[in-house]
Amino acid sequence: QVKEQGRNSFLTFNPGMNRRYEEQLALEKYLRKAIVKNELLLHYQPQIELESGAIVGLEALIRWNHPVLGQLAPNEFIPLAEETGLIVSIGEWVLREACQQFRRWLDLGLLQEARVAVNLSSRQFVKCGLVNMVRKALQETGLDSRFLELEITESVTMDMARASNILGGLANLGVKIAIDDFGTGYSSLSYLKRFTLHCLKIDRSFIQDLRTDPGAMGIVNAILAMARSLGLKVIAEGVETEEQVQLLHEMNCPIVQGHYFYQPATAPAIEELLAERLNSVSKTRRKRRN
Ligand code: C2E
Ligand code: MG
Ligand code: MG
Ligand code: MG
């Protein structure tokens, strides 16, 4: 009965809903061509090791220069890309672009012991052939697998058997795996010991509430302790204030990422930043020698 009503109300003409549907259709039409029209681009956000101040990672974050709507953030088109399956080709483009860019920065000597982090949606993760796609992307861009970290969310670990297989394959390639938005998913923690993982990224929501909410502080401390005993790296996401940095430092959180240090920026801007940092490091070294 209730189901019937639900169905009928869906069919009822609703101008607002109809417009939304048409907007989505139009967006999908544009998105299908976005890759060949060169409208997608990656921004990169540095990840900072608190102890040394070194940039130890760069997370690739997709943007879409829509011809009419201007630059769109991932939450404005990634859900649509996932629904329509376009995420598979978009995801492959992201991976290749990020690997190629990172290889260039390595070749230029701008980075040594750092990694590029690429987000995978769960739809990509369950698609057959992911491991082969990653292997090919690395081969064809000439990036050594140890420089690549893939970010997945807890949701993909729900199907343990399947996830175990894929993560095993990726580990064999030498690629690192990070759990993104850690602490917000619904999966059990048992996957942490079953899978070959490398890193936990503490979700931004816990970092935001760090000072005001003792619960958030407790959770962050617990994640840090657990990661330490499991030998996992930890990155705190969404660090925006000096106070948060101070607290995370006192809690011995090794790596942070957020607007307090750097906003995500275009590849040329990041290249400039890396060159400047390299320059100032060699200057202080020279000074020390003299
Ligand atoms: P995420 O992977 O958790 O990425 C972190 C998000 O937090 C990014 O948003 C970043 O710009 C933002 N952020 C970084 N520092 C701060 C901060 O200090 N404060 C606040 N408020 N936000 C901060 P963005 O770029 O809009 O990306 C949103 C989400 O879209 C990402 O969350 C990721 O899940 C997804 N995404 C981004 N790029 C890709 C991609 O290439 N493929 C897939 N499948 N998903 C992507
Ligand atoms: Mg991420
Ligand atoms: Mg995240
Ligand atoms: Mg996310």
Question: Which residue has a Cα nearest atom 28 of ligand 1?
Answer: 74
254 CB within 6 A, ligand 1: no
Q: How far apart are CA 87 and CA 124, in angstroms?
A: 7
Secondary structure class of 26 (helix, strand, coil): helix
The residue contributing the CA closest to ligand 1 atom 41 is 62
pLDDT tens readout for residues 118-132: 999 999 988 889 999
- The verdict on the CB of residue 76 being under 6 Å from ligand 1 is no
CA distance linking residue 9 with residue 268, whole number of Å: 50
Asked whether the beta carbons of 34 and 64 are under 8 A apart, the reply is yes
DSSP-based three-state secondary structure for 229: helix
As a whole number of angstroms, the distance between CA 270 and CA 260 comes to 16
Kindly report the pTM of this predicted structure: 0.93
Q: Is 80 in the pocket of ligand 1 (CB under 6 A)?
A: no
Tell me the angle at which helices 87-107 and 267-289 cross, rounded to the nearest 10 degrees: 30
**Interval 83-118: pLDDT, tens:** 999 999 999 999 999 999 999 999 999 999 999 999
What does the alpha-carbon distance between residue 279 and residue 12 come to, in Å, rounded to a whole number? 64
Q: Is 264 in the pocket of ligand 1 (CB under 6 A)?
A: yes
Q: What is the pLDDT of residues 177-224, one digit of tens each?
A: 999 999 998 778 888 988 999 999 999 999 999 999 999 999 999 999
Q: Say how many C-beta atoms besides its own lie within 10 A of residue 139's C-beta.
A: 11
Nearest CA to ligand 1 atom 6: 238
Indicate if ligand 1 lies below 6 Å from the C-beta of 259.
yes
Q: Are 37 and 29 in contact (CB under 8 A)?
A: no
Q: Whose CA is nearest to atom 34 of ligand 1?
A: 119
94 lines ligand 1 (CB under 6 A): yes
Predicted pLDDT at 290: 61
258 lines ligand 1 (CB under 6 A): yes
What are 70's strand-pairing partners? 66
Q: Please state the atom number of ligand 1 nearest to the C-alpha of residue 260.
A: 18
pLDDT top residue among 287 and 203: 203
Closest CA to 41 of 267, 269, 259: 267
pLDDT, one tens digit per residue, over 9-33 is 455 556 666 778 888 888 999 999 9
Distance CA 277, CA 260 (A): 17
CB atoms within 10 A of CB 39: 17
Q: Which ligand lies nearest to the CA atom of residue 238 in the structure?
A: 1
Rounded CA gap, 62 and 143, in Å? 20
Q: Are 233 and 224 in contact (CB under 8 A)?
A: no
pLDDT of residue 283: 76
Give the list of residues 6+ apart from residue 46 with CB closer than 8 angstroms, or none: 55, 57, 58, 257, 261, 262, 270, 273
- Give the separation between CA 23 and CA 78, rounded to whole angstroms: 15
